[in-house]
Chains A and B, each alone.
Chain A
Amino acid sequence: MVIADGDAVALEGFTHLIPFAAAHEIIRQGRRDLTLIRLTPDIILDRMIGAGCARKLVFSWGGNPGVGSLHRFRDAVENDWPVPLELEEHSHAGMANRLVAGASGLPFAVLRGYVGTDLATHTTGVATITCPFTGEALTAVSALRPDVAVIHAQRADREGNVQLWGIIGVQKEAVLAAHRSLVTVEELVDQLEPRPGAVVLPNWVVTAVAEVPGGARPSYAQGYYDRDNEDYRRWDAIGRDRDAFRGWLERELLATESTKA
């Protein structure tokens, strides 16, 4: 088992290649008390939060891109439904650098950020640090070391080497920062053909690979299928209402077969 109750799980993919199928499987398996880590919770974590998988959320922007609120996220924060949700919130730059520190084996990363904002006073893992060379005051953010990173990629070969391209987000950093990793892919191929700008994760940094075609829907996989913007719009009405959400969960997830994640 790659993911256990109570684990800290980063599910990454910045708008592109969001690992929906893996998240749906985590919901089906009834995982609880997870710390979910993701720059943009998006509707993938809205679903997991609404299903009661999460105890804590580490994030930087929790909206439905171009559509509006994440209503399950809001209901959890505003009304503790279905369970209270602890927040650890940062900026994108802070979250990205925390994963860079984790991937680099360092306890923290340095950036110019957070200064003058209320973020630093309401979240942990942010401190001021003095540059040993110039004396300049800078911001330190603590490293993120998830138990597990979950990502979706376009391809893997039969040895388990993984290849992704297009908007690459922070997936490489998440996988290298995490203790274990699970990668779903659009297709398994005999040989990875080189792609300009592609990220390749060698099999020895990946714990498990599963072929799940369409595993990023309703987000997209460049070269395979488009972002289903209409599905993102539809989620607004489903997520807004507890009963509509529960109905969706029963109908679309719990009553359907597990994919082979």
Chain B
Amino acid sequence: MSELGGALSADERMTVTAARALGDGVICFVGIGLPSTAANLARRTHAPGLVLIYESGTIGAKPTTLPLSIGDGELAITADSVVSVPEIFNYWLQPGRIDVGFLGAAQIDRFANINTTMIGADYDKPKVRLPGAGGAPEIAASCGEVIVIVRQNRRSFVERVDFVTSVGFGSAAGDRERLGFSGRGPVKVITDLGVLEPDPETCELTLTSVHSGVDPEQAREATGWPLAISEKLTVTPAPTQAELDALRELLATQTLNGSDG
């Protein structure tokens, strides 16, 4: 797997960038899909001491294969501890024991609020019914900080989400404090085009980094509000060969069947 089998894809760049955002030794509450792939990649590369917690109650999971669901047997048999669903939320998440919550989104808005519930103007007559909240509202409220990983386009990056499933910064700076949240909220939104971070004053999502080869104007066009671009805009360092190899190896482990015994 050491050969670069084809061009670097936008998803690969996004996943590697997201993995780098997780430091070694961090306690991370992991959502399914892209967040899980990125968190497992981090554990296989620069962050072997990353503690993975899944809402299925698996604490300190060390999967050797990439799970398809958040409750694959591989997570349970490699975990330090397996607890019930009430316990994972009440004892572990709620008191603020988790450093980072890692979430996906169907829609995200200017103030990093997340919608995973429905698309449309009327809740009772949705244009598209999405899966719903899952663990995300409390993860977004109670983790020390939140990282969001989502593909950037006009459908996903909207001025105001159709439904606030999980609160980012509400409507303005100061809303999180007013709502009584213990965590700092979304500190990074990582996309296939670059990285957005909340403005330190206004909390509005601002483009702070683009992936190499991406014109900041491209990010602007893919955003449903007038996107602010940081004066200190940087270019995301490209994935290294080692990171790409590790990612491709990881994806290859997502075997058709689970792997508990």
Contact = CB atoms under 8 A, between A and B. Distances in A.
Interface of A: 14-16, 39-40, 59-63, 65-67, 69-70, 73-74, 77-78, 89-93, 96-97, 99-100, 111-119, 122, 136-137, 166-170, 172-173, 197, 220, 222-223, 226-230, 232-233
Q: A-side binding surface: helix, strand, loop or mixed?
A: loop
Interface in B52-101: 55-58, 67-73, 75-77, 82-86, 89-90, 93-94
A232 B132 CA distance: 19
21 contacts: A14-B56, A16-B71, A62-B129, A66-B32, A66-B69, A77-B129, A78-B127, A91-B137, A96-B85, A115-B179, A116-B181, A119-B165, A137-B180, A166-B260, A167-B57, A170-B84, A222-B73, A222-B260, A226-B260, A229-B69, A229-B72
Nearest to B123: A122
A222 B261 CA distance: 7
A119 B166 CA distance: 9
B128 interface: yes
Given A67-B68, A169-B85, A92 B133 contact: yes
Contact of B68 (A61, A65, A172): A65
A216 B180 CA distance: 41
B84 A166 contact: no
A115 B183 CA distance: 13
B216 to A, nearest CB: 31
Given A92-B85, A111-B94, A112-B141, A226 B167 contact: no
Contacts of A66: 32-33, 67-69
Interface of B: 32-33, 55-58, 67-73, 75-77, 82-86, 89-90, 93-94, 117, 123, 126-138, 141-142, 163-167, 170, 175, 179-181, 255-261
Contacts, number: 191
A170 B71 CA distance: 13
Given A14-B56, A112-B141, A92 B134 contact: yes
Most buried by B among A67, A122, A220, A227: A227
B180 A115 contact: yes
Nearest to B83: A168
B69 A65 contact: yes
B129 A91 contact: no
Contacts of A99: 86
A111 B142 CA distance: 12
Given A16-B56, A100-B86, 6 more contacts: A63-B130, A69-B131, A73-B129, A166-B260, A227-B257, A233-B256
A14 B181 CA distance: 27
Contacts of B181: 115-116
Contacts of B130: 63
A116 B90 contact: no
A96 B55 CA distance: 11
A97 B91 CA distance: 12
A5 to B, nearest CB: 25
A223 B142 contact: no
A222 B175 CA distance: 44
A65 B57 CA distance: 16
A62 B259 contact: no
Contacts of B67: 66
Given A77-B126, A115-B167, A222-B76, A60 B261 contact: no
Given A61-B131, A73-B129, A92-B55, A15 B180 contact: no
A235 B117 CA distance: 22
Contact of A226 (B94, B117, B257): B257
A172 B123 CA distance: 33
Contact of B256 (A59, A69, A173, A229): A229
A118 B117 contact: yes
Nearest to A168: B84
Contacts of A97: 86, 89-90
A32 to B, nearest CB: 22
A227 B73 contact: yes
B84 A169 contact: yes
Most buried by A among B69, B77, B256: B69
A136 to B, nearest CB: 8
B72 A230 contact: no
A114 B137 contact: yes
Nearest to B178: A116
A90 B33 CA distance: 21
What 8 A-B pairs come out closest when comparing CB atoms?
Answer: A15-B71, A63-B131, A65-B69, A227-B258, A61-B134, A66-B68, A93-B89, A116-B167
B249 to A, nearest CB: 19
Contacts of A89: 117, 132-133
B139 to A, nearest CB: 9
Contact of A116 (B134, B170, B257): B170
Contacts of A67: 68
